[in-house]
A and B are shown apart, each in its own frame.
Chain A
Amino acid sequence: MITRRHFMASAAAIAMLSVAAPSFAADTVKIGLILPMTGPFASTGRQVEAGVRAYMALNGDTAGGKKVEIVLRDDAGTADQTRRIAQELVVNDKVSMLMGFGLTPLAMAVAPVISQAKVPAIITSATTSAIMSKSDFFVRTSMAGPQSAVPVATWAVQNGLKRVVTLVTDYGPGHDIEKGFTDQFKKDGGEIVEAVRVPLQNPDFAPFLQRVRDAKPDAVFVFVPAGVGSLFMKQFVDRGLADAGIKLIATGDVTDDDLLGAIGDPALGVITGHFYSAAHDSPENKAFVQQVKDSAKMRANFMAVGGFDAMHLAYAALAKTNGDTDGTKLINAMKGMEWTSPRGPISIDPATRDIVQDIYIRKVEKKDGELYNVEFSTFKKIHDPFVAK
Chain B
Amino acid sequence: MTSGKTLALTLLGAKGRWRMWEFALWLVAIAATFLLPSQLLILTEVAILALFAVSLDLILGYAGIVSLGHTAFFGLGAYAAGILARDYVTEPVTGLVFAGLVSGLFGLATSFLVLRGSDLTRLMTTFGVAMLLAELGNQMAWLTGGADGLSGISMSPILGLFEFDLWGRNGYIYCLAVLIVLTFIARRIVNSPFGLSLMAIKRNPRRAAMLGISPKRRIVVIYAISAAYAGMAGALLTQTTSFVSPDVLAFHRSADVLLVLVIGGAGYLYGGIFGAIIFTLLRDWLSVATPQYWMFWIGLILVAIVMIGRERLTGWPALLARSLRGKSEPAGKETP
- Chain B residue numbers with a CB within 8 Å of A162 are none
- Chain B residue numbers with a CB within 8 Å of A109 are 149, 151, 241, 243, 245
Residue-wise interface mask of A (308-344) relative to B, using a CB-CB cutoff of 8 A (1 in contact, 0 not): 0000000000000000000000000000000000000
- Chain A residue numbers with a CB within 8 Å of B42 are 84, 88
Task: Indicate if the CB atoms of B166 and A91 lie closer than 8 Å.
Answer: yes
Q: Which of B218-241 contact A (CB under 8 A)?
A: 237, 241
Task: Indicate if the CB atoms of A113 and B146 lie closer than 8 Å.
Answer: no
Task: Indicate if the CB atoms of B247 and A108 lie closer than 8 Å.
Answer: no
Given A73-B288, A84-B45, A171-B146, are A112 and B168 neighbors across the interface (CB < 8 Å)?
Answer: no
- Chain B residue numbers with a CB within 8 Å of A84 are 41-42, 44-45, 241
Min C-beta distance of A239 to chain B, whole Å? 26
Q: Determine if A172 is an interface residue (Cβ-Cβ < 8 Å).
A: yes
Choose one: A46, A80, A112, A200; the contact of B138 (CB below 8 Å). Answer: A200
CA distance A37 to B286 in the complex (A): 13
Nearest-neighbor residue (CB-CB) of A129 within chain B: B148
Q: Determine if B112 is an interface residue (Cβ-Cβ < 8 Å).
A: no
Task: Indicate if the CB atoms of B138 and A108 lie closer than 8 Å.
Answer: no
- Chain A residue numbers with a CB within 8 Å of B148 are 104-105, 108, 128, 130, 172
Task: Indicate if the CB atoms of B41 and A88 lie closer than 8 Å.
Answer: yes
- Chain B residue numbers with a CB within 8 Å of A104 are 147-149
Q: Which of A64-88 contact B (CB under 8 A)?
A: 72-74, 76-80, 83-84, 87-88
Task: Indicate if the CB atoms of A91 and B167 lie closer than 8 Å.
Answer: yes
Q: Which of B200-259 contact A (CB under 8 A)?
A: 237, 241-243, 245-248
Q: Determine if A348 is an interface residue (Cβ-Cβ < 8 Å).
A: no
Q: Determine if A98 is an interface residue (Cβ-Cβ < 8 Å).
A: no
- Chain A residue numbers with a CB within 8 Å of B147 are 104-105, 171-173, 200
- Chain B residue numbers with a CB within 8 Å of A113 are 166
CA distance A87 to B294 in the complex (A): 21
Number of A-B contacts (CB under 8 A): 98
CA distance A2 to B152 in the complex (A): 44
Q: Determine if B323 is an interface residue (Cβ-Cβ < 8 Å).
A: no
Q: Determine if B291 is an interface residue (Cβ-Cβ < 8 Å).
A: yes
- Chain B residue numbers with a CB within 8 Å of A116 are 166
CA distance A170 to B246 in the complex (A): 14
Q: Determine if B38 is an interface residue (Cβ-Cβ < 8 Å).
A: yes
| Chain A residue total in the interface (Cβ 8 A) | 37
Task: Indicate if the CB atoms of A91 and B38 lie closer than 8 Å.
Answer: yes
CA distance A130 to B150 in the complex (A): 12
- Chain B residue numbers with a CB within 8 Å of A200 are 138, 147
Nearest-neighbor residue (CB-CB) of A112 within chain B: B242
Q: Determine if B295 is an interface residue (Cβ-Cβ < 8 Å).
A: yes
Task: Indicate if the CB atoms of A87 and B245 lie closer than 8 Å.
Answer: no
Choose one: B38, B237, B287; the contact of A80 (CB below 8 Å). Answer: B237
Task: Indicate if the CB atoms of A112 and B154 lie closer than 8 Å.
Answer: yes
CA distance A270 to B233 in the complex (A): 48
Task: Indicate if the CB atoms of B291 and A80 lie closer than 8 Å.
Answer: no
- Chain B residue numbers with a CB within 8 Å of A74 are 287, 291-292, 294
Task: Indicate if the CB atoms of A108 and B45 lie closer than 8 Å.
Answer: no
Interface residues of A (CB under 8 A from B): 37-38, 46, 72-74, 76-80, 83-84, 87-88, 90-92, 104-106, 108-109, 111-113, 116-117, 128, 130, 134, 170-173, 175, 200
| A to B CB contacts below 8 Å, 17 in the list | A38-B292, A38-B294, A46-B292, A73-B288, A74-B294, A77-B247, A80-B45, A80-B237, A80-B243, A80-B245, A91-B168, A108-B245, A112-B241, A112-B243, A113-B166, A116-B166, A200-B138
Q: Which 8 A-B pairs have the closest CB atoms?
A: A79-B245, A105-B149, A171-B147, A74-B291, A172-B147, A105-B245, A109-B243, A172-B148
